[in-house]
Chains A and B, each alone.
Chain A
Amino acid sequence: DAGITQSPRHKVTETGTPVTLRCHQTENHRYMYWYRQDPGHGLRLIHYSYGVKDTDKGEVSDGYSVSRSKTEDFLLTLESATSSQTSVYFCAISESVGVGNTIYFGEGSWLTVV
């Protein structure tokens, strides 16, 4: 298994509170991603990073911010959590984005916003 650790694995939070999810990798992969998974929507990219301090938006970035201060760590922050952000969040990593590249996923973080 790829060395990806997500924390926390489960969290219940109240509407309006800030939440930070952490992803830590031991593979030294250049690319890191945050996805959310919801029934009927598959996996949707929130933000991704292509290097330290280099990030870009995915298709569902509104309400989320990210930071990558070290190669191994990628943080996802919900500035003010809403019920629509209740989801399973997956961190993923890859060496490149070339054809044939494999994306490796963490085990997910279950977030419930009440």
Chain B
Amino acid sequence: QQQVKQSPQSLIVQKGGISIINCAYENTAFDYFPWYQQFPGKGPALLIAIRPDVSEKKEGRFTISFNKSAKQFSLHIMDSQPGDSATYFCAARAGGNYQLIWGAGTKLIIKP
């Protein structure tokens, strides 16, 4: 119930294409869903986040789509660039101690 399942584990996309990473959860008490981006040798950094009362949030080329009834949310990267190559983590804020539950990560490679 406290898990966040992320897929795919790895993804290769051509430059200019759309990258899509998916996450699913079970706990309907989760109330905040951030995505973090991590470059090799660095710590993760917040990329974009959404609350469950919103179905979509867009920031530049990055969009979160949120489907509350399906308990799924996804990250879309439009016009993917080589500089987007990184590992992406989805997460969900849990009740109780309000800590984030993390997905396993997706390694994204954008081919020039």
Contacts and interface: CB of A to CB of B under 8 A. Distances in A.
Interface string B96-112: 01111011110000000
Nearest to A41: B104
Contacts of B93: 97, 99
Contacts of A92: 43
Contacts of B42: 107-108
Interface string B30-54: 0110100000011111100101000
A88 to B, nearest CB: 9
Contacts of A98: 98
A58 B100 CA distance: 10
A56 interface: yes
Contacts of A100: 32, 49, 51
Interface of B: 6, 9, 31-32, 34, 41-46, 49, 51, 89, 93, 97-100, 102-105
15 contacts: A4-B43, A40-B9, A40-B104, A44-B102, A45-B100, A48-B99, A56-B97, A90-B43, A97-B93, A97-B99, A99-B93, A102-B34, A103-B46, A103-B100, A107-B42
